[in-house]
A and B are shown apart, each in its own frame.
Chain A
Amino acid sequence: MTTLLEVSGVSVSFDGFRAINNLSIQIAEPELRAVIGPNGAGKTTFMDIVTGKTRPDEGTVIWGERSVSLLSMNESQIARAGIGRKFQKPTVFEDQSVRENLAMALKNKRGPFDVLFHRKTPQGGARIREIAEEIGLADDLPRRAGELSHGQKQWLEIGMLLAQDPRLLLVDEPAAGMTPAERQHTTDLLKRAARTRAVVVVEHDMEFVRRLGCKVTVLHEGSVLAEGSLDHVTANQEVIDVYLGR
């Protein structure tokens, strides 16, 4: 296990409100990590900072063996560097087919002219089918993504993440609005992905986090309150006070 992502001393304020306050987190590769915390703890802002959507006021975000700073890169460069993100609300391109959604995410050159002269390859097609198989949408490839159920959209988005072949997956509330069976499938997907990559899951649902069975980081008011196994952090009095006690 080597450190893949190192966030240290990061702070960011919005109109005087400190959303992130001297936050430091390290993610290894491969690793499965759950990030929990009450509303407003800074979970989503943390993801925004790592993916380049929000610039921190201070602190560093270091990536990979060559220790490059993510703060000097824009969203698409960070994505190409190997960080994929799944949003809280499933955001797939509803007007396009499942296949088109996956094909767009598939790891390929991203320049406009590469895309304009892109030819479909048998390998690409096989990879799309493989991912569709994995996310349980093998029979839905020609369907419009907008026709999928909520849970299927979540999976499609996870599939798009896998297609990007990132080294780090940031997954925001993947189980929201899912049936118990769908949750189980999602847990399996994430656990499998975490065998070879770093996967960071932000989740509210304790039961889901328990099933992931991984190291947990508890955020509160923009900084790390506790870190360790789920049993360890849930035994922490501070955690109980700010989060679990309510």
Chain B
Amino acid sequence: MTRPTPSSVRKYLGGARGGSAPSPGATPLGGARPFVMRHPSVLWFLLALSAFTLGVTFLSDAFGIGLLSTSFVKTLGKTLCLCLVAIAMDVVWGYCGILSLGHFAFFGIGGYAIGMWLMYARTERIVEASLAEAPLPPTEQEVIDAIGVQIFGVVGSSEFPALWAFADSLALQLLMVALVPGLLALVFGWLAFRSRVTGVYLSILTQAMTLALSLYLFQNDSGLRGNNGLSGLQNIPGFEAVPQSVISIVFLWASALALGLGYVLFAWVVSGKMGSVIRAIRDDEARVRFLGYHVESYKLFVFTLTAIVAGIAGALYYPQAGIINPAEIAPIASIYLAVWVAIGGRGRLYGAVIGAAFVSLLSSWFTGGGAPDIPLGFYTIQWTDWWLVLLGVSFVVVTLFFPKGIGGLFDHLVRKDP
């Protein structure tokens, strides 16, 4: 690997909001070198991500010195998934200017899609094991009925709803992880963009979509176990004998791989002419129309692609979380997502990663009782309650005074370089 010169790094970082301003000496044909080499910040990110993943592995219980508990490794793995959905949010909002307050819904749908298979396959194994001792071998229907009772007993049903038609097939459910968020985004986006709904009205519309989805899932007869959600997702069918400490590392690696691939994909999308057009749409979409670009198609492309990536991120997140319920999809979750990206720095992918990682880890530290209470004599500040106030205040402060977010600090650091 050739070390990029400070000046090329500076150009990339400095031009992050404005995108990749071509340097004066750049050849018009940059295609000879691989994409990653032409974008040093992508290379740095991949190196940092690899170092992080290897570091956690060496400190883990399963493969290392055991400094990090399995639950903390899972937290880190989940954080990588949140970083992935955050870069998707950054592309749709920071680059394309669509403030979607519904991308966490796509994330949740991805989680539900994989959760259905996890729950079905695991229950199937349990049912088969228990029926194996019966005097007569069970028929296929008996097995399915018993699985139904196990899964849906909690909502007073035992029938498999149509939604679960593919739940027995891992391949099909994996397809659903991408297909369902993608199709929902495509249909929703087509209707909204075609009617030229923009700005805050579009944000409200995406919130409404999220709220509707979450309210629907809360119903017991939604077919997805109402507010119980899907649980036991940390148990991977067929790998019951593998300890959770090992599974946590496998998911950490899978999440890191997905984040790395997602980062390269989005960096590629926003780097070339596509990036130029979508940033132009963010800044003045009417003007882009008069250049002959069909703005709605571009928005739809970005909205759908980022929704699919959000779904994939969710599918990796929830097996690590172990449980998914409709509260996860509540509108507030999508708002948090926007807050992470704003704090991290819009319009730069690494900003979204920093924001998501920093704020979500801090959030679990504060709300998990990690932060010590502050006694004021007349009142004690308990961070479990006050964290949201702190987050809200930081959001306002960042928006007002540091519109470039934490990522903007890199501009200062790099600019001081001789």
Contact = CB atoms under 8 A, between A and B. Distances in A.
A240 B328 CA distance: 71
B280 to A, nearest CB: 5
A51 interface: yes
Given A96-B279, A112-B298, A125 B28 contact: yes
Interface stretch (A59-67, A78-86, A192-200, A203-211): A78-86
A178 interface: no
Contact of A80 (B269, B286, B292): B292
A109 B137 CA distance: 64
Interface string B270-286: 00111011011001101
Nearest to B276: A100
A46 to B, nearest CB: 15
A188 interface: no
A99 interface: yes
B29 A75 contact: no
B293 A95 contact: no
B34 to A, nearest CB: 14
Interface in B6-37: 17-19, 21-24, 26, 28-31
By size class, the interface of chain B is 35 or more
Interface in B267-310: 269, 272-274, 276-277, 279-280, 283-284, 286-295, 297-298, 301
Contact of A91 (B28, B30, B272, B287): B287
Contacts of A115: 273-274, 277, 293, 298
Task: Determine the interface band of chain A, counting residues with CB < 8 A from chain B.
Answer: 35 or more
Interface string A170-187: 000000000000000000
Contacts, number: 104
Interface string B178-220: 0000000000000000000000000000000000000000000
Nearest to A95: B18
B291 A95 contact: no
Interface string B80-95: 0000000000000000
Contacts of A164: 291-292
Nearest to A86: B290
A26 interface: no
A76 B277 contact: no
B284 A122 contact: no
Contacts of B17: 95
A96 B280 contact: yes
A142 B290 contact: no
Interface in B48-95: none
Contact of A104 (B26, B280, B301): B280
Nearest to B291: A105
Nearest to A99: B22
Name the residue among A91, A93, A116 with the largest chain B CB count within 10 angstroms: A93
A87 interface: yes
Contacts of B272: 116, 118
Contact of B289 (A76, A87, A93, A104): A76
Contact of A93 (B31, B269, B283, B294): B283
B297 A112 contact: yes
19 contacts: A74-B289, A76-B290, A79-B289, A93-B276, A93-B283, A93-B287, A96-B18, A97-B21, A100-B22, A103-B276, A104-B277, A110-B292, A111-B294, A112-B301, A116-B269, A116-B274, A119-B31, A120-B29, A142-B24
10 pairs of A and B residues whose beta carbons are closest in the complex: A125-B28, A79-B292, A75-B289, A95-B18, A80-B292, A112-B301, A76-B294, A118-B273, A116-B274, A93-B280
